[in-house]
Structure 1
Amino acid sequence: MHLRFLPEEHRETYGEFLNYAFRPQEGPNWDDNRIPDPEIYHPRGFYDAPPDTPAADLDSADLVTVCAFYDFTARVRDEWHPLPGISAVASPPEARRQGHIAAMLDELLVEFRDSGRYLSALWPFKYEFYRRFGWATTNNYAQTTVPPDELSAAVPEPDGEFVRLDADDWDRTESIYATAATEDLALDRTEGWIRHRLFRRWDSDPYVYGWERDGDLRGYVVYTVDGDFDSRTLTVYELVGVDADARSHLLRFLRDHDSQVDEVFFKREHESTRLIDDLTDPRAATVEIQPGPMVRITDVSAALEAVSLPEDATCDLVIDVADDRCEWNDGAFRLVVEAGSATVEATNVDSDVAVEIGALSQLLVGAQSVDELVRTEALSVADADAADTLRAVFTERDVFLREGF
């Protein structure tokens, strides 16, 4: 078996796998009405055929499992780095529990390493499942449900105007997003991603409205309205403003739907966003904290050497990495850090630090602290000096990967 590019003539079978995995309620006689894929989307097929089989000789019947990835670029410690986002991992029921998904993911990690994609991310269907393969959680996010009229306490007097946006306004929304999304793991969004994932959705396309002042777009909100006449929910997928003033006017826009909807549901916001603090009755809102996506280093040496670290940190430690899926990561590395740059080389000397690959991934992107990982036993240090060195090198960051994929 082997992983390879998915030929266009196998897309129907690929779609059947995805439909059964993610929308089985639609039954077998499904219509292929998927939204267009952006240019950064790369589907893959795992075939029950020899690796040297010519593409022309492959049959869709040889497909065992499928996956895909979005070729994202994301901010990591204030610089842009490749971050492929794995998606569409699916197999038909007759191929399950035979180790095919594990073998496919192993080959995908090899592809990432060989192509210089030293980090990766995904949204898990089960966290336990992907932890076994080395991924670890990046960030949590908040979900808030509130009656629209309760937003009145958080909105200003009317100013500016609201305008309907469409896909041809992609560059205007990107300008807002680039200004506001300053967190680590925020994406450098492409035109294709914005057109096909911000302005389109799988089941029904969203509304996108912006707030302007003197013709200058200052923020936008992406939402759908679901339910029937007796009970409707306005679901906010993204609300982005260049400042607090823009955000408050977008909340005013949502408040003004109080005659149409019973509740406003903010699907995925930064954990620090505390709308309840602005409400007259905070108990009117329900806030849930949910675990977010997961991240994984695919090439330890390349990742540590590529990502910029604090300029004032110095380090000379031997780190023993445990990675039972990627043999090139599994072992001891000498990490030397000076002036914000790292050099890494394999070594056989005794280690100062022992760490699981998922925990090292969290350290690298700043998603977890040294102390927290020591508490969970995913990280152990030889002495206090080694712990202090790690704290100086792998500082915590404001990490928020908001996009679903």
Structure 2
Amino acid sequence: MEFRQISAAERTAAMFPLQSYAFLPSPWPEEDEAAYRRRMVFFRTAINFVAEEGGTALAGAAALRMRQNVRGKVHDMAGVASVASHPSARRRGLVRGVLERLLRQARDEGHTVSALYPFRPSFYARFGYVGIPRHRTATFAPEGLDHLVRAELAGEVERLPMTDGFDEWQQLQQRLLGERHGFAVYDETRAAEFRGDKWWMAVARAGGEVVGAVPYRVGSYGGELEAENLLSTGPLGRALLLQFFARHVDQVARVRVKLDADDVPELWGTDFAVTTEAKVDHPRRGGPMVRVLDMPALTGSEAGDGDVTIEIPDDTLTGGLWRLVGEGGRLTVTKGTATPEATLTIGGLSALLYGVLDPTEVVLRGLGTVDGAAEGPLSSLFPRHMPYLCADF
């Protein structure tokens, strides 16, 4: 068995058969392979690994080059995708071998953190990943926002084809990357594929500044308006986009839009009827998972006051003793020398860093042991703070 890194040009021959069999109806028509080959121009910057036997790829995985805000610091992030294996090669540890090499290569190339959408969370938990919230979806009738139609808002919304609205949408995402914990974006190479998507783009502006944007499409007359993530810089941008949706009252019966886990659509109006849900099932709709790849690179993250030494055992990328110090609102991570006050898996440390679990929950989940003296400093260093990944990959 040979494990090797391959280029985007090699993906069609090596990875397309594995991915297509794993994720698409099959047998697949010849035009699917041709379409996949054309798309590889958008994967030129991805890190790709395969396990080959006799010159045939039996397992493969990729890491998309992304960037993510984690507690106020923007990191290079490896977005793991395209994980698949040949049915005859399953249960042989080939995916494990591919992922271990992929994550090490990503770390060596400067990626501090990693994220993925799992087919089975327990499988990726063995690689140090821990779950974070899936985006919410709000579904409502546009007439519920009638009060916004009558409102005089200090701004306007322009409807554009995706091609024309793409650049402003990307600029808004870059702004939010610097502001929102958990927010992630693709590199320019991968993002370029979405410019040609058959979606409308609603761009909200106020005072000449973009304050909101959302891709959307109308399924049918009297049907549903489906929108992607409702991105805005604040309440005005959100209100302008919702007002735009409300003006479809005589065209569609429902609006369905993706939201941050912290959004509360039930407060958008009085007597406003809305269904808000985060549906997670497997293997198709897993909630995202994350992990840390490089401990010292976390220095500079936002943190509360505290000083604690932890041990991360049995992780080839981050294992060892680490001293975590929070002072002046920032975190410093250095090699530890004192007796550890907490022993955490990398999944447990990642859960604290991303703000989804507190020290007690980490212990209850079997992600570590925390001495009583360490619980306070860890809680202070990493207060609960729900991340908004936003990107699907």
TM class by smaller structure: 0.7 to 0.9
Whether the 8 Å contact between 1:171 and 1:191 is mirrored in structure 2 is: no
Shift of 1:316: 4.2
Deviation at 1:233, TM superposition (A): 2.3
| Matched-pair contact (CA < 8 Å) for 1:77–1:307 | no
Paired with 2:35 and 2:60, the residues of 1 have a C-alpha distance of: 19
Structure 2 contact 131–288 (Cα < 8 Å) conserved: yes
Residue 183, structure 1, aligned to residue 180, structure 2: yes
Q: What stretches of structure 1 of length at least 5 have no aligned partner?
A: 50-58
Amino acid at match of 1:92: H
Q: 1:344 maps to which residue? A: 334
Specify whether residues 207 and 130 from structure 1 end up closer, same or farther in structure 2 by C-alpha distance, changes over 3 A only: same
Q: Does 1:8 align with 2:30?
A: no
Relative to structure 2, which stretch is displaced further, 291-300 or 103-112? 291-300
CA distance in 2: counterparts of 1:93 and 1:260, whole angstroms: 47
Equivalent AA in structure 2 for residue 162 of structure 1: E
| Equivalent residue letter for 2:243 | R
The 1-side partners of 2:211 and 2:382 are apart by 35
Structure 1 residues 10 and 361, CA, compared in 2 at 3 Å: closer, same or farther?
closer
* Residues 140-164 of structure 1, C-alpha deviations (whole Å, 9 max, x = no match): 4311111222232455536634231
Please state how far the C-alpha of 1:365 moved relative to its aligned partner.
Answer: 2.9
Aligned position for 1:42: 46
Query: What's 1:148 paired with?
Result: 142
Q: CA 1:14–1:215 in 2, change beyond 3 Å: closer, same or farther?
A: same
| 2:59 pairs with 1:65 | yes
Q: 1:161 to 1:387 in 2, by over 3 A?
A: closer
Q: 2:159 aligns with which of 151, 156, 163?
A: 163
Does 1:389 find its partner at 2:377? yes
Matched-pair contact (CA < 8 Å) for 1:297–1:303: no
Q: CA deviation at 1:361?
A: 1.0
* Partner Cα distance (2:77, 2:239) in 1: 32
SS of residue in 2 equivalent to 1:260 = coil
Letter in 2 for 1:272: D
CA distance in 2, matches of 1:29, 1:92: 19
Does residue 1:113 correspond to 2:104, yes or no?
no
Residue 270 (structure 1) aligned to one of 255, 260, 273: 260
Rounded to whole Å, the distance in 2 between the matches of 1:128 and 1:200 is: 36
- Cα displacement string for residues 218-258 of structure 1 (whole angstroms, at most 9, x for unaligned residues): 322201233x56x6322111222233222122112222223
Match of 2:232 among 219, 238, 241: 241
Q: Is 1:289 equivalent to 2:290 in the alignment?
A: no
- The residue number in structure 2 matching 1:313 is 305
Residues 106 and 132 of structure 1: is their aligned pair in 2 closer, same or farther, counting only changes over 3 Å?
same
* 1:127-182: CA deviation from partner (whole Å, max 9, x where unpaired): 22211221001234311111222232455536634231543544322333344552
Q: Distance in 1 between matches of 2:211 and 2:8?
A: 42
- Give the distance between the partners of 1:392 and 1:40, measured in 2 at CA: 42
Instruction: Name the residue aligned to 2:168.
Output: 172
In the alignment, what sits opposite 1:223? 216
Sequence identity of aligned pairs in percent?
Answer: 24
CA distance in structure 2 between the partners assigned to 1:37 and 1:155 by the alignment: 43
Deviations 1:349-405 (A, max 9, x none): 75321212111112123332223323434232222x211121222233342111001
Aligned to 2:363: 374
Equivalents in 2 of 1:337, 1:249: separation in Å?
Answer: 42
Query: Size of the alignment, in residue pairs?
Result: 378
Please give the per-residue CA displacement for 1:318-350, whole angstroms capped at 9, x wherever unaligned.
x23244xx33534x4041526445343366x75
Corresponding residue number in structure 2 for 1:361: 350
Once the two structures are superposed, residues 178-221 of structure 1 have per-residue CA deviations (whole angstroms, 9 ceiling, x without a partner) of 44552212235544444323x445xxx22212234565443222
2:284 match:
none
Paired with 2:231 and 2:87, the residues of 1 have a C-alpha distance of 40
Q: Among residues 313, 316, 324, which one is paired with 1:327 in the alignment? A: 316
TM-score normalised to structure 2 length:
0.84
Contact 1:209/1:222, CA 8 A, preserved across alignment: yes
Return 5+ residue gaps in structure 2 as ranges: 281-286
Letter in 1 for 2:293: T
Once superposed, what is the RMSD of the aligned Cα atoms?
3.0
